[in-house]
């Protein structure tokens, strides 16, 4: 499935003020004669070169130079004819989103602020661990899902990013890695709902997956969703892994904290997850943000056990991360462990995500575009859960 063949349905208003159609407040970048290389799949580049009468293998050569050798000066591409090299600057650009600021947490987490034009910014986060280096990418400026516990959800959707802007986040971080480092995993869990911008997200995956490019394994890519049920099959078809931001053990609580549930309730969501696991032959990861006094009791854990029963899954428990204006509080550590133990008794794989990057507002649910109004750092009391 080529990304340009995607035809995502338009969504209608599903809850209160939340509208997925979301008219964008700012226009996209103006079209120019040049094409941004980072927004091209290999087949796109082949088509472009074919129109110029060039052989298709030239696209593979360009991919290798740019992605594998990180050469963007056409004059250095020695296996391409001098005549062709002279034509390329008028055809292709290598524009990357500018890094406005780079913050480093006490725990080694790195946050990058990118300028995506029209005074709009997005954030991406590089998360280190013992056996992996995970890059959390953003797919939109703002978000229309309006999840009440998420800082990004407090701002409306401003613009859906293009594929070159998402690939550009990856390349900018990649180019700043220390010698010997390599991004091992990609998660679309940054700003925005990935399935509200499917064409750009899945095109990005294809670009980075190309064996002539970064050769990034699809099984090392996770696409998260708040519950856009009709779009979940796109994840299945892409070969990426599925993560679902669940966060509630019943429809009443989920309706309250995640308005998307009023359109696609928990039963519909679980049915879609079962279908995914059957076709993909892979388990789904359920993300569950623990909100003190809202969804973190033993009874809530028992209800959660029932709704995920029969779905091959891993459950990630995430203690709530504070942000300016938050209406919720972080669950006590003892309640987090009690919740985990109650689920573990059923044999389900349950982990508690260690909080990373809280001191630079880089943890789950803390990203935003309201940069000028957003504090850059905070003092945090770290404990066993981070």
Place of tokens 């509080």: 329
* CA–centroid distance for 295 within its chain: 24
Q: Tell me how far CA of residue 230 lies from CA of 8, 184, 217, 220, 234, in angstroms.
A: 9, 29, 25, 23, 9
Nearest to 291 by CA among 245, 350, 260: 245
Q: Tell me if residue 364 is catalytic.
A: yes
Joined together, the tokens standing for residue 385 give 């859960």
Residues 6+ apart with CB under 8 A from 153: 143, 145, 146, 147
Q: Which of 41, 123, 165, 287 is catalytic?
A: 123
Q: Which of 143, 147, 150, 364 is catalytic?
A: 364
CA–CA gap between residue 39 and residue 375 (Å, rounded): 32
Q: Tell me if residue 136 is catalytic.
A: no
CB 67 within 8 A of CB 212: yes
| DSSP assignment letter at 235 | H
Residues belonging to the active site = 123, 364
């Amino acid at each position: 499935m080529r990304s340009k063949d995607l035809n995502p349905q338009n969504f209608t208003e599903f809850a209160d003020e939340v509208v997925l159609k979301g008219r964008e407040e700012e226009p996209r970048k103006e079209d120019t004669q040049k094409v941004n290389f980072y927004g091209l799949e290999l087949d796109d580049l082949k088509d472009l070169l074919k129109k110029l009468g060039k052989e298709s293998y030239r696209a593979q050569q360009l991919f290798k130079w740019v992605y594998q050798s990180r050469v963007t000066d056409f004059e250095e591409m020695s296996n391409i004819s001098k005549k062709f090299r002279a034509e390329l600057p008028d055809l292709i650009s290598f524009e990357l989103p500018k890094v406005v600021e780079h913050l480093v947490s006490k725990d080694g987490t790195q946050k990058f602020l990118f300028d995506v034009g029209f005074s709009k910014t997005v954030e991406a986060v590089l998360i280190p661990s013992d056996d992996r280096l995970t890059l959390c990418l953003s797919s939109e400026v703002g978000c229309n899902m309006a999840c009440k516990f998420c800082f990004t959800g407090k701002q409306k959707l401003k613009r859906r990013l293009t594929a070159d802007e998402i690939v550009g986040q990856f390349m900018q971080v990649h180019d700043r890695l220390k010698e010997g480092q390599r991004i091992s995993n990609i998660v679309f869990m940054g700003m925005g709902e990935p399935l509200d911008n499917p064409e750009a997200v899945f095109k990005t995956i294809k670009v980075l997956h190309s064996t002539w490019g970064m050769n990034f394994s699809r099984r090392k890519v996770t696409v998260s969703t708040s519950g856009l049920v009709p779009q979940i099959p796109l994840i299945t078809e892409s070969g990426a892994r599925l993560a679902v931001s669940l966060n509630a053990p019943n429809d009443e609580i989920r309706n309250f904290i995640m308005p998307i549930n009023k359109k696609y309730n928990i039963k519909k969501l679980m049915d879609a997850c079962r279908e995914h696991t059957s076709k993909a032959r892979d388990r789904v990861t359920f993300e569950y943000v623990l909100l003190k006094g809202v969804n973190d009791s033993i009874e809530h854990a028992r209800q959660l056990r029932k709704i995920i029963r029969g779905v091959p899954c891993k459950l990630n428990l995430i203690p709530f991360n504070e942000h300016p204006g938050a209406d919720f509080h972080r669950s006590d550590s003892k309640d987090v462990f009690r919740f985990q133990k109650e689920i573990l008794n059923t044999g389900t794989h349950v982990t508690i995500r260690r909080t990373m990057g809280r001191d630079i507002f880089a943890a789950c649910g803390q990203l935003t575009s309201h940069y000028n109004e957003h504090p850059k750092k905070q003092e945090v009391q770290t404990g066993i859960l981070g």
